[in-house]
A and B are shown apart, each in its own frame.
Chain A
Amino acid sequence: MITLTHYLVLSAILFSIALVGILRRKNLLMLFFATEIALNAINIAFAAISKYYGDLTGQMFAFFVIAIAASEVAVGLGLLIIWYKRRGTIDLDSLQTMHG
């Protein structure tokens, strides 16, 4: 039987995969991919909890997460394009203007 635990564990695994991606990627675009994975993992968790507790709140939340993710992608990619036009590269290390 598939219980809530299974879904939550799956969500945790997917989330840590996303974390690996965030930590590893130096290409800004790939970084965005990893962020998307994280958001999706969360959505699975919300939906699972929503089903197993009989509450629609989880689905609502997942809904709004999707909406937000969409708008985030739009704005983020716009910015990315501008950055690429200025610098000619999307390497993450080139983003650094502070010297620490």
Chain B
Amino acid sequence: MENYVLIALFAPLAGSLFAGMYAMKPKRLITGIVTSALLFVSFLSSLVLLFHLLKTEEIVKVKLFDWITAGSLNIPFGLVADQVSVIMMVTVTLVSTLVHVYSIGYMEHDKGFNRFFSYLSAFVFSMLVLVMSDNFAGLFIGWEGVGLCSWLLIGFWYYKKDEPRDVNPSISPSWAANEAFIMNRIADLGMLIGLFIIYWHIGSLDYDVVFAHVNLLDIAIITMMGIFLFIGAMGKSAQFPLHTWLADAMEGPTPVSALIHAATMVTAGVYLVVRSFPIYSQIPDIGFYIAALGAFVAVFAASMALVNTDLKRIIAYSTLSQLGYMFVAAGLGAYWVALFHLMTHAFFKALLFLGAGNVMHAMNDELNIFKMGGLYKVMRWTAIFMIIASLALSGIYPFAGFFSKDKILEVAFDSQHYIMWFVLWIGAGMTAFYSFRLIMLVFFGEERYKKYGFHPHEAHWYMLAAMAPLALLAIVAGFFEEPFEEFVTQLLPEYHIHIHGILAVALIGLTTLIALSGIALAVYKYSHGGFSPKWRETFIYKLLYNQYYIPILYEKLFIEPYKELSKIAWKELDLRIVDATVDFIAAVIYKSGFAGRVVQSGNLSKMLRWMVIGLLILLVLVIVYSPVR
């Protein structure tokens, strides 16, 4: 069994290294095929581990080697395959394999083909390290690794130039990559402080040790721990206020968005909170704040998606919104619900992104949905997949999203946070609306693309074949809710919902009602020409369209002062003080050497005179330092 753990972890690394050998060379199809195959091997190993755990309930642990032993600090490089991590492994490897196969087609004309697969497999490796590690240090290593690979992949087309914010709100891929990395770094500081607090009070970073001893600590310390770890999660999972990077990360290629910003990296924050449930169970107040923040983000992001015209941005805001839902569940103590929504969301969000990739490919990388329309006739399968995904996202029975999202709403209602329930309920409606707004504007209605001279066509068969399993899972995954709950609660705490009978049915009915009404509104409005252009002039539209002006706020508040500060530090401090000091020392040495040339004039009698002067000085020293005094 240990071998399967190792295979699952290192197969993507092998693929990454293999593709890395061809990094600077022109496109070689073999890199794509080999990396996809290795990821499929990893997926099969994860499945084996899943079945093993299902059958025997025996957690598999592997210790690779002692990594850091310094004094009393002992961090081994250990891996664990327990219920939570194996679910994450299966999700990650499945989506990654399909995205790899899809990318063979998507990136076929890109000259960085080999480099892309190397980065993508490296990312999967880092993510697997993150979920499989059995201590916080390994988790942090994986955390940093996914941050790095995300930076590499967002900035994949690094040579694209910067553009002003009104032309391209993400400015350029390099800028967006830097923004993502820097925001993650700010959050990582919080996470590091959390790790330090854990180590300081418990003396180890191992999950088993930490979770066994955490209830012995003072509640204030546990609160600090929870807060700081959540700050780290905020960066990775793009919670407010560290959320601006996620929308800008759409500058990267679409498979990257599908893998990283839908299914894996952004869920790392949720994974952290779920994994640290012993800590968060002790501090339900902090959990409430987490849930409240999640609910806020859910609606905040959904509101921005209502008016956006960029295809991928709408889906990005949708991801942000769904992450908020996951945090609501995790914050309220329903950890297995959060994990379940994470898994189903991975499937249908990845499907949505891949579909969007197909559309972009067909429309020559055009992103404005108002330049599309009526693509159903040309791209039937893509349209069907995206409709399936949108239905799942909106939470319509029997698709997967219904089960998971509904559960979260029930959890909110059950813990008597009715306002939260209401907010989430509105969010569900908005989600349904904007998802189908997207569908209607892209696939149905007037064929606006013809005006702009596009010639769309359906994607390659294997790209569609890669999307098919996701579509299937988006449909059926919801039915695995009960086995899932049973499986995962072997490790995670159980959460019993106390609403039964009529109230439960009523709630489900209300949720479905608002989702259906959102869909109906979208379908009706956009099949009859959409909203009138007068809406564009209103304040609320401008507010939402410009992301509540938050990026501009950040720029004025943080970026420009920091730039000024850096300039001052450079010109005043560095050049004037540090450089001047170093130059001064050098100048002193040089000048003293120059002055010392007099002694070596080459004229013997002068040098003899200097010798006598030296002798004089030595004699003076003899008298001054003689011991007889």
Contacts and interface: CB of A to CB of B under 8 A. Distances in A.
> Do the two chains bind?
yes
| Majority secondary structure, B binding face | helix
Interface string B595-611: 00110111111001100
Contacts of B602: 95-100
A92 B600 contact: no
Interface stretch (A22-30, A48-56, A63-71, A74-82): A22-30
Contacts of A19: 612
Given A100-B597, A100-B598, A93 B603 contact: yes
A100 B604 contact: no
Interface residues of B, number: 11
A38 B290 CA distance: 93
A100 B600 CA distance: 6
A78 B604 CA distance: 18
B612 A96 contact: no
Interface string B608-625: 110010000000000000
Contacts of A98: 600-602
A17 to B, nearest CB: 13
Contact of A95 (B597, B600, B604, B612): B604
Nearest to A26: B605
Given A19-B612, A22-B612, A92 B601 contact: no
Interface in B544-600: 597-598, 600
B604 A92 contact: yes
A5 B622 CA distance: 18
A98 B604 CA distance: 11
Interface in A17-64: 19, 22-23, 25-26, 31
A89 to B, nearest CB: 14
B603 A96 contact: yes
A12 to B, nearest CB: 11
Nearest to B597: A100
Nearest to B599: A100
Contacts of A97: 602
B173 to A, nearest CB: 62
A76 to B, nearest CB: 13
Interface of B: 597-598, 600-605, 608-609, 612
Interface of A: 19, 22-23, 25-26, 31, 92-93, 95-100
Given A23-B605, A100-B600, A100-B601, 16 more contacts: A19-B612, A22-B608, A23-B609, A26-B605, A31-B604, A92-B605, A93-B605, A96-B603, A96-B604, A97-B602, A98-B602, A99-B602, A100-B597, A100-B598, A100-B602, A100-B603
Going nearest first, the 7 A-B pairs with the smallest beta carbon separation are: A98-B602, A100-B601, A96-B602, A96-B603, A92-B604, A92-B605, A22-B608
